[in-house]
Amino acid sequence: MATIQIQGEGQVNNVEVVPLNPSGSARGPPTEKMTDGPMCKVDTMQISQKGDDIEIFTGGCCERQNRYKISVPGQGKVYKAKEESSCCARMCFGPHVDMKIHINEDEDGYEDYLMEKPFDCGCFYALGGICRPQAKIFRKKDMKLVGRVQRPVCGGVFRPTLDIFDGNNVKTGQVKGPMCCISPFCESAFQYYDLTQQETGAKITREYPGCCKVCCTDMDDFEMKFASTQDEDARATMIGTMLLLDYMHFEDDKALEICTADAWCKLKLGDLYCCGCTIPYNCKIPKNSSE
């Protein structure tokens, strides 16, 4: 098992590299039980969405495929994730588009997990199946389903909610977000609850990335804390849950619009949430001062 040195400010740390193939031979698929992979060696992961120059330059008019860096604090990148979707579909349907997200180990691009998100119509109140965002997470080795995530009927009413299922389609818990309001200018925590509605200790937090980043882009940063009882597949499902939450609530979340049809400047303060429906509330500076 190899070690690498990471040079910090005034110190050098030895970091153990955890191979997915514990035999030490040439790299191969992960082990069946997935209890010794990189995600089981850590309690916290940081997920940062990468910027795209074309998307930033066009103010989001040219929507590009999302890319993410998934890292362990102090140890660099562990995984990278990249969206695969049609350009025309992204332009027409935005975050509701049918897509795949490839989750790779960063060392040599070996693909560990695949997330599939089908099209959802984005209609209010999330009653029908096609109206409820969902995603499936597969282990790439054999395309075995390891977890599924889906918004429940009525979407948790006043708290954005996702049901979590394991690879046998058995419900294992729920992820619940803030009450009624999600704002780009503050942290949004999504707690993981078990079937008895007790907190498990697992949590997904969309962090406040700073005023400039919020106003000019829709890039987001997340922190993910795992519960000690979660195995590798459950943790991979949490990554899929985080990615789905990003598309559901934060993909169209650039806060500042200048020279809109009815205002000189419009600042989005947040979204009111009810039954799967999000209603933005804004602060506007009218073009006509007499308004």
Q: What secondary structure does DSSP assign to 262-291, as a single string?
A: S-SEEEEEEEEEETTEEEEEEEEE-SSTT-
Closest CA to 183 of 96, 88, 253: 253
pLDDT for residue 36: 58
Backbone angles phi, psi at 252, to 5 degrees: -105, 50
Asked if the structure places residue 259 within a domain, the reply is no
pLDDT score for 290: 53
When the pLDDT of each residue in the chain is averaged and rounded to a whole number, the result is 79
Its sign, for the CA torsion 48, 54, 59, 61, is negative
H or E stretch including 212? helix 211-216
**Domains identified in the chain, total number:** 1
**Cβ of 210: how many Cβ atoms within 10 Å?**
9
Among 106-115, 187-196, 259-268, whose mean pLDDT is lowest? 106-115
Lowest average pLDDT, out of 51-55, 71-75, 110-114, 231-235, goes to 51-55
Query: Residue 33: is its pLDDT beyond 80?
Result: no
Residue 141 lies in a domain: yes
Is the pLDDT at 22 greater than 60? The verdict is: no
| Contact (CB, 8 A) for 172 and 195 | yes
Domain presence at residue 82: yes
Range picked from 37-46, 60-69, 137-146 for highest mean pLDDT = 137-146
- The CATH number of whichever domain residue 145 belongs to comes to 3.20.90
Angle (nearest 5°) at CA 209 between 206 and 211 = 130
Residue 272 lies in a domain: no
Averaged over 1-14, what is the pLDDT? 43
Residue 47 DSSP label: E
In this structure, is residue 160 part of a structural domain? yes
Question: Which pLDDT score, from 0 to 100, does residue 257 have?
Answer: 77
Q: Is the pLDDT of residue 135 over 80?
A: yes
Q: Is the pLDDT of residue 9 over 80?
A: no
Give the pLDDT confidence score for residue 107 in this predicted structure.
57
* % residues pLDDT > 90 (the chain): 35
- Asked whether residue 265 is assigned to any structural domain, the reply reads no
When pLDDT is cut at 50, 70 and 90, the band that residue 173 belongs to is very high
Composition of the chain by helix, strand, coil, percent to 5 = 20, 40, 45
Residue 253 confidence (pLDDT): 61
Return the higher-pLDDT residue of 74 and 3. Answer: 74
From the centroid of its chain, how far is CA 282?
25
The conformation of residue 87, written as its DSSP 8-state character, comes to H
Residues 234-241, mean pLDDT to the nearest whole number: 94
Q: Which amino acid is at 122?
A: G
CA distance 144 to 122: 28
pLDDT tens string 244-258: 999 988 887 667 777
> With 80 as the cut, is the pLDDT of residue 289 above it?
no
The parent domain of residue 198 ranges over 42-254
Q: How many CB atoms lie within 10 A of CB 90?
A: 19
Q: Judge whether residue 175 has pLDDT over 90.
A: yes
More confident residue, 20 or 148: 148
With cut-offs at 50, 70 and 90, classify the pLDDT of residue 64. confident
Domain membership of residue 46 (yes or no) is yes
State the Cα–Cα distance between residues 78 and 70, nearest whole angstrom. Answer: 6
23 within some domain: no
